[in-house]
Chain A
Amino acid sequence: MDRCSGAEVEVRQAVAPCLRIVSSSRDSAEVTEALRTIIHYLEGGNASASEKAEFNRANYTRVLQVLVSSLSSDWFHSLPAQERRELWDGFFLRGPPDQALLVLLDTISSTSDGSGLDWTVSVLESFLSAGRVGMLLWSRCLETNGRPDSVQLRETILTRLSSLPDLTANRLRTNTPARLLPQQYYTDLARDVLNTLENTCRALRAGQDCSLGFVAQLLGKVCMQGHGELVCRTLAPRLSSLTRSDALWRRVSCKLLENVPDRWVESVITALIHHLHGASALSRVMGNLVLKNKKVQFVLTHKVLLLQYQHPTQLLRTVLGYLALDHDRRPLLKQVLRSVCQVWSNSSAVRHTSLDQQLYVSKALLLCVNLLNQTEIQELREELLQCMLGGVQCRLDSSTEHVRRMGMVVGECLSQKLDTPTSQLQFQYEANEESRELLSLMEPQSEEEDEDEQQQQPDDAPRPQPESSGQSAEGQSMMSQPPAASQTSAKPAGHSSDSELDSDDELTPYDMSADQVKQKATPPRYVRDCLEALMSSDDPERVELSLQTAEELLRKNVSTAREVSVQFSKVLLHLEDRYSTAGFHTLRQSAMVALAVIHTQPVVEYLTTEFYSLNYSLRQRLDILEVLALAAQELSEPITEKKAVSQPVARAVTLEQCGEVEHWRQVVEKRIQSKTRRISKGASQPPKAAPNRYAPVAAYFFFPLLRNYDRPQVTFDLLGSDHLVLGQLVHTLGLLMHLAVNAPVATQMGKALLDFVWAIRFHADQMVRRGVLFAVCAVFLSMPGENLLLELSDDLVETRAWLADVAESDPDADCRSLAVQSLVLLEKNLKTHLQSPSMET
């Protein structure tokens, strides 16, 4: 104690006069002399250890402050660079790094632009490059129970270290040197952390105690501030490879993570699992942290799996594999499986979460199930079964093909795990990228993991080479294959190649070009014959031929077609595909469209009445809507030569293939595009003007469809379970509305349509909501601006709020984009309207 206080006095007495000289003297030689005196107390100086410690404790910061204040003094400027580096920089680089760092940063933020600032920054740079941060961290590690550091100081150093790039950039702006930019700084910081950990290991082996508290806090704080990505990119692979062989490293890394304060641990863990490939790596680095720390447990078993869905599949695999890897952690895996099951089979989640999230949860479920062993599956069988049945059912009910397919794939996979081979679920679906990915999750994973770890080593070995060589080999084998055998020589039999060769050749063949596929029946030549055949014939070929020629016949014989139009429509509407005729739906549809175009009013009246009448299947009702839409479309187009006949057919084909919704939107988008193009080109040859055939009859198409929608029948409940038809109906109405642009009746139509869709705008089915938004778009596009605003005036604010809400939070991506589109249209309408002078009159 005495010695200590003795040293204190001694050092103060030695340092104080020097400082006075430095701060006040004008004689540079004198100043230099004074500094050289103080330098003894720094690292590498020849003062005694106790004197050094005392100097570091009480005087160092003061010295630095004095030095900083002398930045603008004459002697500083008169110092040659060499000496300046030694006398001035040396003080910062050879003392306790925490104090130096604080002073440097304070100086940088308080000094105005000038050579002083530049010098300080360069000193800070050399501070960093000299590894002083590493020194700092290490010094903190050693203070296991020593100096009870003031919490405030510790906190300050932590903040400065973790946000050094921000602090410097605030001051230096664009002049910040590369070393102080986040990219470089945090990578270096991660390296320093690693070095510190390495030192720790070494110290522990030597029997010395270390504290990882500060490093852990620093790590937490940095990750919290969003730099986890940068840090862990360097940290994680090294940790993974170091922990592989060394148990001590494993302990140290677990300890490090344990010491991260709870409030920051989430960001550290998240960043870490993003950069650790493979469950075993995570297990090595984290140990059983998930069991010890509630927060980590929540993140890994709940948040990453069920609340977030932006992570790659690899991460899911890592996390779930980590849970499965250790015996103690397996209960957690079961718990996870239970909660994932619950979410997956929740019908409300199916309706209200986005497709991406559903896919993510499905992946998690499959991975989880795949990790279970046989006894665990038996244990969880009941729950899994419930989950499978509930989840598959509510997905199959969905109107989106995507969701249905997901349900089918997951259902099949679960059933494969749960059931005996004979009683497994089997669905028919078209495999796509996504279903294949889901299926691939069920394959055992062990090899891949090793592979991942190898890939983790930072060499980019030219892997594609063997693949490409394989391909070329394949190509060669393809090339060397003999050309396709001709039809007669299926087998080059050895018997025929004996003496009796060529005897065929004396017989010269006759011309065989007339040998053609024979058609037994002839196509009907009259409309009435055609109708007759469709109505009553039992000859498949005749029916097929009649169907094939129906459209052509009708379009050729317009007057006859008018006489029987309604009857013909009736027959076609009720026609069933009894003989599985190729392209049945297309042919029937095009014939019905032809009828609706030729004799619009009665046929459309008939169809719209039938739409709401009893005893039709959903398919027939959908057919009616499609026919109406296509007919309206054809009517609204100018008559072109012959092409018009084939066009609707081609479209109808695509309609059969893809989902109807996409189809309508595509058609409309195409139309919008073609329109805008025409306007922008301008100079191109204007099409010949022709009266729009659709405008006068638009009302016949439109209003009857709005008549009975709220009257449920025994077989048809539009607002209830038959939302598939409702969605299609709204789409069709939207299309009819869109085609009626510039028609006088458009205003009334728009009014009625808005009223209609207003009632169903919060429908649970996304198809319907898409339809609603599509219809709204169509109204905004087609209804004259002033009428629209007049109509909307009361609801304008509410409409905008609704659209904005949908645009922001609807789970369906199409709904969101459609809502944005309608908002844009609405704004445009508003703007033109408010600017137009017609308003004032």
Chain B
Amino acid sequence: MVMARPPPDPLFTLRGSAAPVNTLQFHCSTAGRPLLYSGSEKGCVHVWNLNNRRAERVLEGHDGASVIWVSTVDSTDAFLSQGRDMRVCVWDLHEGRSAVTHSLRTGSVGFCQCSLLEAETNKTLLALPAEHTEEIKVMELASQTPVRSLIPDSKQGMLMCMKMFQAESGPLLCAGYEDGSVVLWDVSHGRPLSCLKAHPEPVMCLDFDTDRQKGISGSSDKTLTSWIIDSQQNLQMQNSVLLTNPGVSQLCIRADGKIVAAAGWDGNVRVFGWKRLKPLAVLQHHKDLVHSVAFSNHPEASQRLMAAGSKDQRISVWSIYSES
């Protein structure tokens, strides 16, 4: 048996956000320069150029309130950032502009990130946490008209995380709650389809793979749990894996469905095979909690990077399982 390879080092590290990094988003689809957006605790959004590895721009739109989610909107080339000032800002970044075109009030005081769904129907939906801690509001982004409000009947506690995706029947949404349950919502009818008690502790993060109808959720304890949506649209527990140290702040499945990365509270990024949650690598670099992990959507497979943002104010960029 050959000795296992030592884990790789990061390709490079981005410093200079001057605050803990909360959230990351790649933007590499357009030709030209690949970008990485990062939201920091001080309320700034840094736009990193991955070619020269420098911050191109710094967007400040949340009055110093921590930015917890950023996203690009492909259809309109807009950019969204969600801050803890209870607002989601819609930015226009065209041609060097950096202006907030308008902002949406969420009313949420929690840490739940928004979820964006760009369906083929040219209708972009945005799910937002709302004023009631357990409520989800879904609105149409372009017209800013609310579509649905999703409130669970039973006591499941605060909304912790969610992910909206398109299914054959229409948009669905997976939401994780404080009591450890994951609820599958039918957005068009505004009713819950299934509920799964996936964790004993609050669900901290989840991600969903539409191709396999399979999702994964992490909690503040030591387990990662994967579940599937069966043909009756019921959630079913599938697999679980035990971590060495408790706490996962974000999970991200790579677009090709081969691996999933977990941002751990112990400062490590763990990589698992997505099929069976086989542990593949433990990337040790950060000295503090890793808040966010993201995969690049670069059209060239070999250029697809992974980035991890940490409380130690650094963003590490890795190239892992990107050959072949």
Contacts and interface: CB of A to CB of B under 8 A. Distances in A.
Nearest to B240: A490
Interface in B255-271: 258-259, 266-268, 270
A422 interface: no
B8 A510 contact: yes
A504 B4 contact: no
A489 interface: yes
B282 A496 contact: no
A496 B279 contact: no
Contact of A511 (B5, B240, B276, B324): B5
B241 A487 contact: yes
Given A511-B4, A514-B284, A517-B244, A493 B259 contact: no
Contact of B279 (A493, A512, A517): A512
A511 B7 contact: yes
Contacts of B277: 488
Contacts of A510: 4-8, 280-282
Contacts of B3: 511
Contacts, number: 84
A495 interface: yes
B6 A511 contact: yes
A489 B240 CA distance: 7
Given A493-B238, A496-B238, A504 B245 contact: no
Contact of A518 (B8, B266, B270, B275): B266
Given A488-B278, A512-B279, A514-B282, A507 B5 contact: no
B259 A515 contact: no
A516 B279 contact: no
A263 interface: no
Nearest to B223: A490
Interface string B305-324: 00000000000000001001
B239 A489 contact: yes
A500 interface: yes
Nearest to A511: B4
B281 A512 contact: yes
B103 to A, nearest CB: 38
Contact of A509 (B238, B239, B266, B280): B280
Contacts of A491: 237-240
Interface of chain A, helix or strand or loop or mixed? loop
A570 B102 CA distance: 63
A495 B238 contact: yes
Interface string A470-508: 000000000000000001111101011000100110111
Contact of B245 (A500, A503, A512, A517): A517
B321 A507 contact: yes
A507 B257 CA distance: 12
B273 interface: yes
Interface residues of B, number: 34
A539 to B, nearest CB: 16
Nearest to A501: B275
A507 B258 contact: yes
Given A488-B239, A490-B240, A509 B228 contact: no
B278 A509 contact: yes
A503 B239 contact: no
A512 B284 CA distance: 10
B242 interface: yes
Interface residues of A, number: 23
Nearest to B283: A510
B238 A508 contact: no
Contacts of B241: 487-488
B245 A518 contact: yes
Contacts of A489: 239, 276
B268 A515 contact: yes
Interface in B201-227: none
Contacts of A515: 244, 268, 270, 282, 284
A504 B275 contact: yes
A654 to B, nearest CB: 33
B244 to A, nearest CB: 5
A511 B283 CA distance: 10
Contacts of A517: 244-245
A752 to B, nearest CB: 57
Contacts of B259: 507
Contact of B239 (A493, A506, A512, A518): A493
Contacts of A503: 258, 273, 275
Contacts of B270: 515
B279 A518 contact: no
A516 B6 CA distance: 15
A509 B244 contact: no
B1 to A, nearest CB: 12
Interface string B230-247: 000000011111101100
Nearest to B320: A510
A503 to B, nearest CB: 6
A516 B244 contact: yes
Contacts of A493: 228, 238-239
B198 to A, nearest CB: 12
Contacts of A511: 3-7
Contacts of A507: 258-259, 273, 278, 280, 321
A491 B228 CA distance: 13
Nearest to A487: B242
Interface string A511-533: 11011111000000000000000
Interface string B21-32: 000000000000
Contacts of B8: 510
Interface in B42-73: none
A509 B6 contact: no
Interface in B83-110: none
A196 B160 CA distance: 92
Contact of A496 (B268, B276, B284, B321): B276
A664 B180 CA distance: 50
A507 B276 CA distance: 12
A511 B324 CA distance: 21
A506 B267 CA distance: 27
Contacts of A500: 275
A467 B8 CA distance: 60
Contacts of A516: 244
Given A510-B6, A515-B268, A488 B279 contact: yes
B154 to A, nearest CB: 25
A504 B268 contact: no
Given A507-B273, A509-B278, A509-B281, A514 B7 contact: yes
A683 B276 CA distance: 67
Contacts of A495: 228, 238
B196 to A, nearest CB: 13
B137 to A, nearest CB: 33
A490 B239 contact: yes
Contacts of B278: 488, 504, 507, 509
Interface string A346-380: 00000000000000000000000000000000000
A500 B281 CA distance: 21
A496 B280 contact: no
Interface string A419-435: 00000000000000000
A493 B226 CA distance: 11
Given A496-B238, A509-B4, A511-B7, A488 B276 contact: yes
Interface of B: 3-8, 228, 237-242, 244-245, 258-259, 266-268, 270, 273-282, 284, 321, 324
23 contacts: A488-B240, A488-B279, A489-B276, A493-B238, A493-B239, A495-B228, A496-B238, A509-B278, A510-B5, A510-B280, A510-B282, A511-B4, A511-B6, A512-B281, A514-B282, A514-B284, A515-B268, A515-B270, A515-B282, A515-B284, A517-B244, A517-B245, A518-B245
Given A506-B324, A509-B4, A512-B281, 4 more contacts: A503-B275, A507-B259, A509-B280, A515-B244
- Closest 8 pairs (CB-CB, A-B): A504-B273, A511-B4, A510-B281, A518-B266, A515-B282, A510-B7, A509-B280, A504-B275
Interface of A: 487-491, 493, 495-496, 500, 503-504, 506-512, 514-518
